[in-house]
Structure 1
Amino acid sequence: MSTDMVMMQQKLADSLNWTLLHVLIVIYEEGSISAAANRLNITQSAVSQNLKKLEEQLQSQLIIRNTKPLELTPIGHYCLQVAQTIFTEITSIEAMKGSNSHLLEGEITLLVASRIHNPKYNEFLVYFKKKYPNITLDLTVKSSMDILNILKQKSPAVGICLARHLPENLNHKLLFNQRYYLYCGYHHPLFSATEVTFNSLLTEDFIAFKSEDIGEVLSPITIFKESHDITGRISAYTNNLDEAVRLIYTGYGIGALPDQFIAATHLESKLRRLPPKEGIADVPIYIFWHKHRALSLIEAKFIEEITAYENFELT
C-alpha cells in the first residue's frame, strides 16, 4: 500500500465522527429520516445534515433517496457494518470495567415462552452462570406470538420461543425440539386399562390448544390428528399448558403434551403416555433476535454460547 493511501486512511480515521455513524445506524434501523429524528429526539433537518456530513467525509453516497423502504448503496451497507461493529465495541467498555476485566458485566433482557422444558437448557444456564457470573438475566415469560411481535419492533431483547413461520426480519437458531406425546389422566377410563391400542384412541374426546390451528405454532399436532383419522370431539380448548395438564388429569379427554414438561410436573404419576410410542410431533424451540438491531457485547456472547452449547440435542 502506498504512503499516500496510508495517509488518506489515517486522515479519515482521525476526522470521522462516531456520532455521524450512529445516525446512519438509526436511519437504517428506523427505515426513514423522519423516524430516525423521532428516535434521536432531534429535527429531521439535523438528521439530514448529519447524513450529508458523513457522505461528504466519505466522499460517497450512502443512501438511495426517495425509496420506500429506505435502501442503502453498496458503500452504505459496508459503512453500516463498520458502524455496527464499532457500536458493539463501545457497548463492551461498560462491561469490561472493574478489577476482573476478563469477566463480562451487564444485563440481558430475555423473553421466554412459558413452560419450555429441556434438561440440556437447564444445564446451559448452569454453565453460563458459572462462566459469566456478573451477567444479569432480566427474564420475562410471554406467549410465543407476543415475543415475536416485540422483537419485530427492534426491542432490545433476545427471545426463546416457538414459531411455525420464521419472520424475515429476525435472525434465528434452532435450540432443540420438544417432542409431544398423547396422554390420558388418572380420571380417564384409559388410565387403568390393561392394554391401549392406537386405534382405540381415534374417537376419544380431545383436549386441544388454541395454537393448534393450521399455521400456528402447534399445528403439527393437528396435522398428525388429521392424517391419522383422529376424529374425537374437542371437549376443551386452552392456551395454557398447566390447564391442559389439569383437564387431561381430570378426565376431560386425551391430549398432546411435551414429554420433558411432564417429567417436571408433580402429576407425572397421574398421567399415562399413550400410543404411538414414538410420539406424534416435534415442535422446535428457537432463539430469535432482530437482524437490524446492533447487539450489545453480552447479548452477542449469550447467543454465541447458547447456539454453540455442545450438550443440546438437536433432533
Structure 2
Amino acid sequence: MNNARVDLSEKFVGELDWNLLRTFVVIVQEGGITAAAHRLLLRQPTVSLALQRLESRIGSRLIDRGRGAFRVTAAGRELYRECVEIYGSVARLAEVATTASREVSGNVHVSLASHVITPLLDDTITAFHAAHPGATYRIKIETSADVARSVQESSASLGICLVNKRLPQLDYEVIYREFFGFFCGPPHPLFGRAGLTLEDLRGQAAVSFDTDYVGDALRPVALLRRQYELGQPVVGQSPHLEEVRRMILCGLGIGPLPIHVMERDIRDGLLWRLPPYRKPPAIDIYLVTNPRRALNRAEAGFIAALRRRIADTPIAERTYAGSA
C-alpha cells in the first residue's frame, strides 16, 4: 500500500507542469484571472486554461469563480502556501553550494523603494564589503508593494520600503523616518515666491505617487491634501521618486517629495519648497525580512549587520527632517 502511494507521488511530480503552479500563485496574488494575465503578459483564456488543467491534475477545485465572484478554496489556500515555499527554495538553488564554505559568500539581493536614502544602508554595505569581499550584491528598485512581495516570495534577501498593510509572514522594523514636503519646479508660477501659505496652494495642479491615498503608504501626505484641499487636479502620477521629481521639474504641478533627499536640488535652485514649513507629514521607512527564508551566510551576516547598526542608532539620529 505504501509503495503504491510512493509510486503515485513520484508519477504526480514527474508529470506536473511547474508553470501551472507559478500561474496559480500569480492568480491568487492578483486576485483574479484578468489581472494575472496582465502581470504574466498572457492572454486571459490561456491563464484560465492553466488553472483548469491544474485543478484537473490536483483533483480539487482551487478557486470558486463566476459572475464576478473570486474566492480561494481551502485546498487552494493550502496549495498556495506550499507553492510560495517551493519557489523560494528553487530561487536559492544556485547558492546552495556556497553556503557550506567557510568564507562568507553568496549573493545579497536588496529590494528597495525608489527613494531610500540613508547612511545606515550605505555604511552597512561599505563595512560588510570590506569585511567579506566574497559576498556579491544585487540591488533592485521596485514599488513598495513589490518590495514586500519579493521578500514574501523569497526572491529578495531583504527589503526597505514604505508600508501600508503588514503581511503576517514578514517581520518589520523602522529603519528611519523622513518628512515629505511639497515642491514646485522653475516653470511653476509659485517658484521663488517667499511668504507662501497653504491657501496659496489651493487649486494648483498636482503630481504625486501612486501610493498618495488615505488608504495607502503615503496616508499622512494624503490626509494633509484632504485637510487643506490641496493638489487638485492630479495631472501626473508615478510609483517612482525620480519620475515624480521629473514631472515637478517640468512644471506639471506641485508634488510631495522627501525633504532630506531633495536638499541638493533645493540648493541648486532646481526645486522650490512650498508650505507647510512646520510639522510636515512624517513617513516611516521599514526594513522588511522573511523569518522563514533559509539565508545563505552573506544574507544572514548582512541583515544582522544592518540590524545592529539600526539598534545602535537612536531614532532621533534616524529621523531625517531636512532643512526648512
* TM-score clears 0.5: yes
Q: Distance in 1 between matches of 2:187 and 2:207?
A: 14
Give the direction of change, closer, same or farther, for the CA distance of 1:286–1:94 in structure 2 (3 Å limit). same
1:314 aligns with 2:318: yes
Give CA-to-partner distance per residue, 1:18-43, whole Å, 9 cap, x none.
xxxxxxxxxxxxxxxx8xx969x9xx
Alpha-carbon distance in structure 2 between the residues aligned to 1:137 and 1:264: 28
Q: Could you tell me which residue of structure 1 aligns to residue 173 of structure 2?
A: 173
CA distance in structure 2 between the aligned counterparts of 1:137 and 1:214, rounded to whole angstroms: 35
Equivalent pairs: percent with the same residue?
24
For residue 222 of structure 1, report the CA deviation from its aligned partner. Answer: 0.7
- Aligned runs of 1:100-179 on 2, under 5 Å? 104-155=104-155, 157-179=157-179
Change (3 A) 1:314 1:273: same
Equivalent residues of 1:164, 1:217 under 8 A apart: yes
TM-score where L is the length of structure 1: 0.63
Describe the superposition over 1:266-293 as per-residue Cα deviations: whole angstroms up to 9, x where unpaired.
Answer: 9942111112223532222222222322
Q: 1: CA distance between counterparts of 2:99 and 2:243? A: 46
Deviations 1:169-207 (A, max 9, x none): 011221112321111111111113242122222332221
* Preserved CA contact (<8 Å) 1:186 1:251: yes
1:1-27 Cα shifts (integer Å, max 9, x gaps): xxxxxxxxxxxxxxxxxxxxxxxxxxx
Secondary structure at the counterpart of residue 212 of structure 1: coil
1:1-315 matches, within 5 Å, as 94-97=100-103, 104-155=104-155, 157-230=157-230, 232-263=232-263, 268-278=268-278, 280-309=280-309, 310-311=312-313, 313-315=317-319
Q: 1:38 and 1:108 mapped to 2: Cα distance?
A: 31
8 Å Cα contact 1:95/1:106 also seen in 2: no
Following superposition, the deviation at residue 311 of structure 1 comes to: 4.4
Name the structure 1 match of 2:30: none
- TM-score normalised by length of structure 2: 0.61
Paired residues of 1:205 and 1:252 also in contact (CA < 8 A): yes
Q: Secondary structure at the match of 1:280?
A: coil
Tell me the amino acid that sits aligned with residue 318 of structure 2.
L
Q: State whether residues 265 and 271 of structure 2, in contact with CA within 8 Å, keep that contact through their aligned partners in structure 1.
A: no
Query: Which SS does the other structure have where 2:272 is aligned?
Result: strand
Q: Give yes or no for contact 1:94–1:105 (8 Å, CA) kept in 2.
A: no
Q: How many residues align?
A: 229
Distance 2:244 2:156 in 1: 32
Find the counterpart in structure 1 of residue 3 from structure 2.
Answer: none
Larger Rg: 1
Q: Is the 8 A contact 1:173 1:307 kept in 2?
A: no
Q: 2: distance between equivalents of 1:184 and 1:110? A: 32
Amino acid at match of 2:301: K
Residue aligning to 1:44 = none
Summarize deviations over 1:80-114 as a string: whole Å, max 9, x none: xxxxxxxxxx98863414xxxxxx22221222222
